[in-house]
Amino acid sequence: MRHYTDYPSFSEALVGFVQQARRAGFSVGIQGSKDTVAAALADLWLDRDIFEHALTALMVQDPAERESFSTLYRRFWRQRGSAVSDKRTYRNKKTVVKKGQQTAVMLGRGKTDEGRQSEGAKTATGASRREQIKHTDFRKLSLPDSQLLDELSEKLIREMSLRLKRRRRKAKRGRVDIAQSIRRNLQRGGMILDLAHTAPKREKFRLLILLDISGSMDKYSFYLLKFLWALRHHFAQVEAFAFSTKLMRITDYLLAKDREWSLHLVSQYVTHWSSGTKIGECLRTFNEQYAKRFLNGKTLTIVLSDGLDTGEPQVLAEAMEKIKLRSKKLIWLNPLKGMSGYQPIQRGMKAALPAVQHFGSAHNFASLLALENILADA
């Protein structure tokens, strides 16, 4: 069976999957094919679990076929060589129906317990619901909550940007320069009304963000990419790269004023989405090809990754040390750090941490907003 990476483009891979589904006996007509394309263009494919639910709802008529369709989906869209069971003994009718309902809710059809909880949440105040969503782990967000977070995130980042600008203006008020103040107020008869300050103007920082889009980050990278888009539109100097088994600069794709179009561009041109993880090799590539251009004493470098590297730890350690030496500050935000009991014992994280100057979480939107304090001190 062919894999999506065997095709030269995402659109051709999508057509290839529809053909595979037909050959496997699933009823996919012209309308089903159009709906599949529409689901992909809506960027549902960036979250592979959501995309699987969407395609299941579009292509599977009989609940008994869901498991076999899931096997077909995983073999085509998941990481090549991942273990997939062919057993079809899963026949718990109650559980199968529940899964179908969740799929329907994701597409705006039907209700589940999660859907009823969302409805119940609407009876609470809007402020409390927004606060709850800010603190919900990205992998636990329902589709309605995800849409509300999209609306909320840009507003919150815009507010963060304005607060940082106000802080910077206040920071310009340093010690009073008496001699300069007297000269400035000579025309007022010596009455000092306009004080001169000796504090130098603080230099603006630039952000450089390295986003892990490997398979282990599937639950988070879609939301983190949206966060990057919002940052890019409210902070003047932001550079962004995506990496898994290779590295790619994505800054230009985030320039579009429409977020959905930006995400579509990334999905079209970043061909290594949801593949393996070679963090050290990708960061070494960054150092060799981009560091001289994008890193300097004003750069805050942020790595968004779970640290599950499959390469040599020494390569990652050396690459991180070089990035640290060229940056104003090196920050690592790990979605797994938001889980209870998490310890950075993975060999990739252990290799990277000695160079990291701030180690934080990135599992929900509130943890990302905590960056404000770091940026304020820059």
Same domain, 341 and 324: yes
Average pLDDT over residues 77-103: 40
Q: Are residues 190 and 246 in the same domain?
A: no
Q: Note whether residue 153 is domain-resident.
A: no
Residue owning tokens 């599937």: 218
Distance from the Cα of residue 66 to its chain's centroid: 29
Residues 6+ apart with CB under 8 A from 200: 174
Residue 300 is predicted with a pLDDT of 93
Residues 99 and 218 reside in one and the same domain = no
Point out the least confidently predicted range of 27-36, 117-126, 254-263, 283-292: 117-126
159 in a domain, yes or no? no
Query: Could you tell me the residue range of the domain that residue 180 belongs to?
Result: 174-202
Q: Which range (69-73, 168-172, 363-367) has the least confidence?
A: 168-172
If asked whether residues 186 and 99 sit together in one domain, one would say no
Residue 156 lies in a domain: no
pLDDT in tens, 235-266: 778 999 999 999 999 999 998 888 888 888 88
For residues 195 and 219, membership in a common domain is answered with no
Enumerate residues 6+ apart whose C-beta is below 8 A from 40: 10, 14, 51, 267
Q: How far apart are CA 12 and CA 260, in angstroms?
A: 21
Count H helices and E strands in the chain, helices first.
Answer: 17, 6
- Burial track 208-220 (b if 16+ CB lie within 10 A, e otherwise): bbbbbbbbbbbbb
Quick one: pLDDT at residue 212? Answer: 95
Query: For the purposes of burial, counting CB atoms within 10 Å of the CB of 62, is it exposed (0-12), middle (13-18) or buried (19 or more)?
Result: exposed
In a domain, 131, yes or no: no
Give how far Cα 120 sits from Cα of 103, 115, 127, 133, Å: 20, 9, 14, 14
* 112 plus 192 within the same structural domain: no
CA distance 366 to 153: 10
- The helix or strand, by DSSP H or E, that contains position 268, with its residue range, turns out to be helix 259-269
- Look at residues 270, 340, 271, 337 and name the one whose alpha carbon lies nearest to residue 308: 337
Residues 43/264, Cβ–Cβ less than 8 Å: yes
135 falls within a domain: no
Query: Could you tell me the pLDDT band of residue 275, with boundaries at 50, 70 and 90?
Result: confident
Q: Do 43 and 90 have their domain in common?
A: yes
Strand partners, 242: 211, 248
Q: Which helix (H) or strand (E) holds 359?
A: strand 358-361
Residue 258's region, left for phi above 0, alpha for psi from -120 to 50, else beta, is: beta
pLDDT averaged over the chain? 76
Identify whether 78 is part of a domain. yes
The CA distance from 251 to 204, in Å, is 19
- pLDDT tier at 116, thresholds 50, 70, 90: very low
pLDDT over 80 at 222, yes or no: yes
Q: Which two tokens stand for residue 89?
A: 């003994």
Q: Examine the pLDDT at 44 and tell me if it is beyond 50.
A: yes
Query: Which pLDDT value is given to residue 54?
Result: 73
Identify whether residues 213 and 198 lie together within a single domain: no
291 & 370 share domain: yes
Percent of the chain with pLDDT strictly greater than 70: 70
